[in-house]
Amino acid sequence: MAQATQLVPQEFSDGAVFDTVIIGAGPAGLFATYYSGFREMKTVVLDALPEPGGQLAVLYPEKTVFDCPGFPQILARDLVTSLVEQAKRYAPTFLLGERADDLRKGEDGLFSIVTDKHVLKTKSVIITAGVGSFSPNKLDIKNQEIYEGNGIYYFVKQKEFFRGKNLLIVGGGDSAVDWALNLKEVVKSIVLIHRRDQFRAHEQSVKELYNSPGITVRTFTELKQVDGDGTTLKSALIFENRSKKEEMIPVDCILINIGFKANLGPIANWGLAMENRAIKINGRMETNIPGVFAAGDIASPTESVKLNLIATGFAQAALAVNVAKKYVDPKAQLFPGHSSEKSA
């Protein structure tokens, strides 16, 4: 994947005025970046993470995505790579590892986005920040702090890391079940434990989980303690939460997938109308602040249903950019034309 230093054009300067600043470099933000360039808008894309891709890059790089238009299946990291290449087509400015702390609108109609490194001047703003910043939920178990990052993990960056290992997975949602299915051909053994007998994961995935010979599923089971030699994880103490019966099992790695905490951070204090931790938008992707638009998981449509899907984010990103173009240049056409009609 392209590194942050390769994504920042040399001509960037604090005195520049941009047509739009896109806050968030996840899938929706990357597609919005491409589209704003297609609409000949001078663009900055800003993200607090040090690399583009959002959750796809940080949480699920090795997961297979099946519901992205045009790809019967594609690894999340490969989708991010393609989106980055597409976004770079019209030479936007990427500012990664930089958080948007404040949004102000001046008497001249320009917005100022204040970060810890820059003050960006822009005619419009498109917020594609997903769920905001996120951190994994953790268990309160004995010896956890000793083996975090050295036996206990919350994300999978590379499947090969788990090859030939005895893996314990904790959780009952999509992440836990999907990783069990994704890793079953790589690991030596998988035990998946869940504190209940009802799973939040997709029904078809749960069915496949139970039908996979290499996976042992233990419901009503929780993790109590981990042990090792202080350097290498060796075992885990699990217990059946109804009978309280305990069992020590050998493990090399533990993958804890019990969700994550999301935080919108400063965005929540910008005066935007919110609903269930998302920004209210109308059918034109407009927020309550003229000139500020939102798309993707962070957007809550008031005239439609909310679906946190990559495909939905792409469509909303295209709408947001085209409406923003009209806002910045009232003489511009709302309809962008077809990309196939534009020369490379």
Closest CA to 168 of 108, 70, 255, 49: 255
In the chain, CATH 3.50.50.60 covers 4-134+261-341, 138-258
Q: Domain 138-258 is classified in which CATH homologous superfamily?
A: FAD/NAD(P)-binding domain (3.50.50.60)
- pLDDT confidence band for 13 (50 / 70 / 90): low
Query: Model pTM?
Result: 0.79
Structure tokens at 132: 């905001």
pLDDT digits (tens, 9 = 90+) for 161-212: 999 999 999 999 988 999 999 999 999 999 999 999 999 998 999 999 999 9
Q: Could you count the other beta carbons within 10 Å of the beta carbon of residue 256? A: 23
Question: Can you tell me whether residue 115 is helix, strand or coil?
Answer: strand
Q: Are 111 and 21 in contact (CB under 8 A)?
A: yes
The Cα–Cα gap between 75 and 55 comes to: 13
At residue 75, the 3 state secondary structure works out as: strand
Residue 199: CB partners within 8 Å, gap ≥ 6? 172, 173, 177, 206
Q: Which CATH class is domain 4-134+261-341?
A: alpha beta
pLDDT tens, position by position, 79-135:
999 999 999 999 999 999 899 999 999 999 999 999 988 899 999 999 999 988 777
Strands 43-47, 93-96: pairing is: parallel
Measured between alpha carbons, how far is 236 from 223 in angstroms, rounded to an integer? 7
Query: Closest Cα partner for 292 from 122, 95, 99?
Result: 122
Q: What is the pLDDT of residue 337?
A: 86
Q: What is the pLDDT of residues 290-332, one digit of tens each?
A: 999 999 999 999 988 999 999 999 999 999 999 999 999 999 9
- Over the chain, what is the mean pLDDT? 91
